[in-house]
Chain A
Amino acid sequence: MLEVIIISSIKVLTVVIVVLTCCAYSTLLERKLVAYMQHRLGPIYAGPWGLLQPIADAIKLMFKEDLVPDRVERTLYTLAPILSFVPSLLVFAVVPFSSDFTLFGYDVTGVISDLNIGVLWVFMITGFGVYGVVLAGWSSGSKWSLLGGIRSSAQMISYELSYGLSIVGVILLANTLSMTEIVGQQDSIFSWYIFRQPLGFILFFTCAVAETNRAPFDMAEAESELVGGYHTEYSSMRFASFFVGEYANMLAASAVAATLFLGGWQGPLLPPIVWMMLKVFFGMFIFIWLRGTLPRFRYDQLMNFGWKVLFPLALLNTMVTGLIVMLTNGTN
């Protein structure tokens, strides 16, 4: 029992540290990639290729004054950054990051918790992510923040349905809700679910971009219309927690996409953990690529797109997959 607790604690600590470091370096990755897309250089001064830039940013944010405007509602204002940051980390509890391995004579599973409703857990937690943004918008006592919060909640409700439906196809084919088993089924590249559920993958990723409030769906913080949206009134580490939360959400969405559609840690030659990281990196690259390429949606376009395009497509995908699974008698 004690051994299990110690191993689990070390695993949790490792995952949290790795995810937080990845978050910090995702900001650098984003700035570099967007810079190259726009024929700029991006950060170059802090260390070689700007590699120390995230550390410099973190130090700067930590030493900044924590401004709290007069008209905020204190409790919720304090709670909001935490609520946006914590759920994004919790998703990693069910993501299998490696196959089972042996370390110093102990058998270690490659996932923190192999929950048999792992996929549902992901949606439980991402559903909670919106509260941080919404409450930040509400409690700031500023109209820009409030507008950002309202937009975000409407957007979340609209895209959550398609988000949930987009993976039903995979669940129908996999016949399980456990992330570990879903990865286990994708043991060769041809059995990756992206090839059997191409529409599902596109829908999943589109909704993931919307759920993480990223461009072109970043209506909640649209800086050209709402100053900074929901985090206008935040400064210092509170602002940083929103920022880290956003990047952790992107990482989580990429990791879930990699697990459900791209075979998770499965892959030839390289060790499993490297494959997982490469696939997560691929997801992050698409996130940043989209931001560097697409202009922001107008609000009514966003709503129409969600309800009149994504949602019917998700229903169609579920129906067709269900029919095929039924006709082939559940075996595929």
Chain B
Amino acid sequence: MNLDTVIFFAAAVVAVFGATMMIAQKNPIASALYLILSLVAQAILYVQLGGLFLGSILIVVYAGAIMVLFLFVIMLLNLRSSDDLGPPPPALGRFTKYAFGILLSVELIVIVKAARMPSKATGVLGFPVEDFGSVKAVSTQMFTTYVYPLELTGILMLIAVVGAVVIAKKENNAQVSDDSGSDRPAKKQVS
């Protein structure tokens, strides 16, 4: 048992624990926090595999920005427990989630088996590539071999941004036309 193995198992256990607790919690804020915990553990796993850049980006983007956005939305809607989300789904809906859960788990096991992954957890030293996972190596790959997928992703995101602006704009216009004429906009029609 060297240090790498210990860190791997600790991080793996925390990642799975966080993910499990996330779906088991009633309080949405606690769910979000467990997801953050899971993300941090995953980042540690990435770093252990030599993906230093990938791990840090996971933290900066997901744990640092996207989860703050999630928390913001949860707080803005003031969801204190899952009861605030409305009545529970009917019996059929509750059954489908278990069915899909089992189906996806089976699929995951089959894929992992089929991929024939090495059974031993290898640390950073197990990699033959010089500079593997460093910012330079990742960006070189991204801007040479994978430049077209990267640019396509960029266009996709641009479309998403334009879409978001259009949606936001529409609501804004409706509100402005509703409130026009009065000095202090009365916002009572929000149901």
Footprint of B on A, CB under 8 Å? 73, 76, 116-117, 120-121, 123-124, 126-128, 130-131, 134-135, 137-138, 146, 149-150, 153-154, 156-157, 160, 164, 177
Contact = CB atoms under 8 A, between A and B. Distances in A.
A117 B52 contact: yes
Contact of B64 (A116, A138, A146, A160): A160
Interface stretch (B65-73, B83-91, B147-155): B65-73
A117 B68 contact: no
7 contacts: A73-B27, A76-B33, A116-B52, A117-B56, A138-B71, A150-B76, A157-B69
- Per CB-CB distance, the 4 closest pairs between chain A and chain B, nearest first, are A127-B64, A153-B72, A120-B56, A124-B59
B59 A134 contact: no
B140 to A, nearest CB: 13
Contacts of A76: 29-30, 33
Given A123-B60, A124-B60, A154 B134 contact: no
A150 B75 contact: yes
B59 A127 contact: yes
Contacts of A164: 60
Contacts, number: 67
A164 B64 CA distance: 12
Nearest to B53: A117
B170 to A, nearest CB: 19
| Residues of B contacting A: mostly | helix
A128 to B, nearest CB: 6
Contacts of B69: 153, 157
B68 A156 contact: yes
A116 B135 CA distance: 9
B63 interface: yes
Nearest to A123: B60
Nearest to B74: A138
Contacts of A124: 56, 59-60, 64
Given A131-B71, A154-B72, 9 more contacts: A121-B56, A123-B64, A124-B56, A124-B64, A127-B68, A138-B71, A146-B75, A150-B75, A160-B64
Interface residues of B, number: 23
A259 B134 CA distance: 22
A138 B29 contact: yes
Interface of B: 27, 29-30, 33, 36, 52-53, 56-57, 59-60, 63-65, 68-69, 71-72, 75-76, 78, 134-135
Q: Max chain A CB contacts within 10 Å: which of B63, B64, B69, B78?
A: B64
Contact of B68 (A116, A121, A138, A153): A153
Contacts of B30: 76
A121 B69 CA distance: 21
Contacts of A146: 75, 78
B75 A127 contact: no
A130 B64 CA distance: 8
B75 A134 contact: yes
B134 A138 contact: no
A208 to B, nearest CB: 15
Nearest to A121: B56
Contacts of A138: 29, 71, 75
